[in-house]
Structure formats: structure tokens, C-alpha cells
Copies of this chain bind each other. A is one copy, B any other.
Amino acid sequence: MTNSTMDDIDLRILNCLLERADLPHKEIGQRVHLTGQAVGARVRKLQELGVIEGYTIRWNPDKIGLSVHAFVTVFMTSNHAHQTFQSFVQHKEQIVELHRVGGEGCYWMRVRVGTQAELTALLDELLQYGNYKVSLSIGQMK
């Protein structure tokens, strides 16, 4: 790898892939005026640079019954519970995203569950680590 910096074409390829990662390189190539092979080489470069981390699917959790989508801010009550809290979170598959935050609270997390009852149960467990604030998503606009 030579040039470790991204140009405008790389950005356009990135945008194409974000929108539709199953697009053939040849078709992306038509949009950025390159052959499929050249696109392939750039994509490989972007992966080596760590810009592209991997391929995934966009999906709809609602369709498999995960209709409750909550944002939870956690306020830790003890300074010593961080380790156990984090391992607690890691093995809870309902918690699909976790960030350490500065500002409001200590952690921010996204939760996906099937029922209100399941959410309540999770929140009850959370109490061993601290307090929380919950917001429920009632519609995604973007």
C-alpha cells in the first residue's frame, strides 16, 4: 500500500457501499468511472486502512418480534462496578450497543426487546449498578 490517504473517489465508493454493499464492483465502477477491478483494489485498500471494517446487513428487528426499542442512560452509583457492569452488558444480547459517555450519565445503551415486561426485567437488573433514564423510540426518521 502506497498512498495512505483517501481521495474523493474513495469517498464515493464508500457511500455506494453504505447504501448497497451488494452492488457489483463493475456497477460502482460505472458511477465513478473506473473498471470493476480498480474498484476492487480500492475497496481492499480501504479495508487495510481500517476505514471499512466489514460487511453486514441492514435488517428489521421488528419483524422478528423485537418491537421495543429503548435508549437507556445509566448513572453508576459506585466507582468500582464498571468491570462487572461491562461484563454484565456483554452477555446480555438485548443490549445491542454500549458507549461510555461524558455529559448526561456514565453509559449510554441501545436496547432491543420483544415486550415491555422484558424491558422492565432488564432495568431491574440494571439497578444493581446504578440508576437510569429511559426513552422509547416511537419512530425512526433517519
Question: CB within 8 Å of B: which residues of A?
Answer: 6, 11, 14, 17-22, 49-60, 63-64, 69, 71, 73, 86, 89-90, 95-105, 108-109, 133-142
Contact = CB atoms under 8 A, between A and B. Distances in A.
29 contacts: A14-B64, A17-B56, A17-B57, A18-B56, A20-B56, A21-B21, A22-B54, A22-B55, A50-B63, A52-B57, A53-B58, A54-B58, A55-B55, A56-B56, A71-B99, A71-B103, A71-B108, A73-B135, A97-B140, A98-B141, A99-B141, A100-B139, A101-B135, A101-B136, A101-B138, A102-B135, A102-B136, A104-B135, A109-B142
A14 B60 CA distance: 11
Contacts of A71: 99, 101, 103, 108
Given A21-B21, A57-B21, A99 B140 contact: yes
A57 to B, nearest CB: 5
Contacts of A142: 89-90, 95-98, 109
Contact of A6 (B64, B101, B137): B64
